[in-house]
Every structure is written in C-alpha cells, then in structure tokens.
Structure 1
Amino acid sequence: MKNNNNEFFANVGLFISALFVVALALFLQPVIYVGFGYLGGLVVKWVFGGIISNGLNSVFGTDRFNSDYIPMIAVTLAFIGSYFRVSSANSNKK
C-alpha cells in the first residue's frame, strides 16, 4: 500500500510540473515577442524615424506622429501578431 501512495504522489508531482512548464512557456512567448518588437522598433526609429513619422503624418493628415512612438507601435503590433501566427508546410508533390 505504501508503494502505491508514493507512486501516486510522484505522478501528481509530474503532472503539476508539466502544467507549470506549459504555463511558463505560454507566458514567456509573448514576452519574447514584445522584447524583439521593442528592439526592432528602436532600430527602425534610429534609422528611419523621421521618414516614417513624416509619412504617417502625410497619410493621415495630422501632425500627431513623431519618431518616439515607433517602438511603442512596434511592440503593440508584435504582441498582437504573436497570437495570429500561421505556419505552412512546404510540400512539393511530383
């Protein structure tokens, strides 16, 4: 009887550990996308900041956009886009 109890608790511990790993992976994935989105936004701001802000102001007919908003916009798009990923398999049938 004692062996069955230990085996049960070992299986419960394994199940809880697996749930924790899955939850951690689901939490860390958007965080990683946000980090890369911010870094990409910073690079775009440094290289093309004025051009993009002038283009957005021209397209929307306003003077609200400046280059400081580019990393924030990139983070928002990366976070939203992380939930809409699509993977496609390349199959070449002959």
Structure 2
Amino acid sequence: MKTKQSLVLLLAIMGLMIHCKRHKSENKTKHVREKINANAKSKASEALDFCRANNMNTDFCILIDMSVHSGLKRMMLWNFNKEKVEASFLVSHGCGDAFL
C-alpha cells in the first residue's frame, strides 16, 4: 500500500513539474512574440519612409528579425495600411542582432 501511495505522489509531482515548465515556456514565447512585434513596428516605420522617398510600394513590406532564434517565426509580412503584421513565417539560418 505504501508503494502505491509513493507512486501516486511521484506521478503528481511529475505532473506539476511538467505543467509549470509548459506554462513558463508559453509565457516566454508570448514575451518574445511581443518583442518581435514591437521591433517590427519600429522598423516598418523606417521602411515606409524609405518606400515613400524612393517611390516604392507602400502597401506591404517584408521584415526579417535575424536576432530571433531560427526556430521561431521571424519573417513578417507587414501591412503599412493596417500597421500590423499580416503573417509570420520561419526563416532558417542567420546570426547577430541585425533587423533586415
């Protein structure tokens, strides 16, 4: 009987650990996504100025944040009219903290 109680206790502790780790990971991903979107808005403003000065399309632009891990969606389709990210995509490779 004591073995059964120990097993139940062990499983409960493991379940709690897994839940806490997943929750922490979700919060970290949300924080990274918010940072990416804030950087995108800043860079999109620069891109819009450049597009206007060079008589280029002012509907959309593509932004790539090479400072973000390649396992995360770091390429964004920015909509100048709505001032928001329309879609995000994965981009492989890259290093440094450059924002293209």
Normalising by structure 1, we get a TM-score of 0.50
Distance 2:93 2:25 in 1: 14
> 2:76 corresponds to which residue?
none
User: Greater share of strand residues, 1 or 2?
Assistant: 2
Distance 2:93 2:48 in 1: 30
> 1:16 corresponds to which residue?
15
Q: RMSD across aligned C-alpha pairs, in angstroms?
A: 3.7
> 2:67 corresponds to which residue?
none
Shift of 1:27: 2.6
Distance 2:25 2:84 in 1: 23
Runs of 5+ unmatched residues, structure 1: 88-94
Sort the Cα spacing of 1:44 and 1:13 in 2 relative to 1 into closer, same or farther, 3 A.
same
Compare relative contact order (CA 8 Å, sep 6+) and give the higher one, 1 or 2: 1
Shift of 1:54: 3.7
Normalising by structure 2, we get a TM-score of 0.48
Runs of 5+ unmatched residues, structure 2: 61-78, 96-100
Shift of 1:70: 6.0
Q: How does 1:50-61 map to 2 (within 5 A)?
A: 50-54=48-52, 58=56
Sort the Cα spacing of 1:85 and 1:31 in 2 relative to 1 into closer, same or farther, 3 A.
farther
Distance 2:29 2:54 in 1: 27
Aligned residues: 77
Sort the Cα spacing of 1:35 and 1:63 in 2 relative to 1 into closer, same or farther, 3 A.
closer
SS in 1 for 2:21: helix
User: Greater share of helix residues, 1 or 2?
Assistant: 1
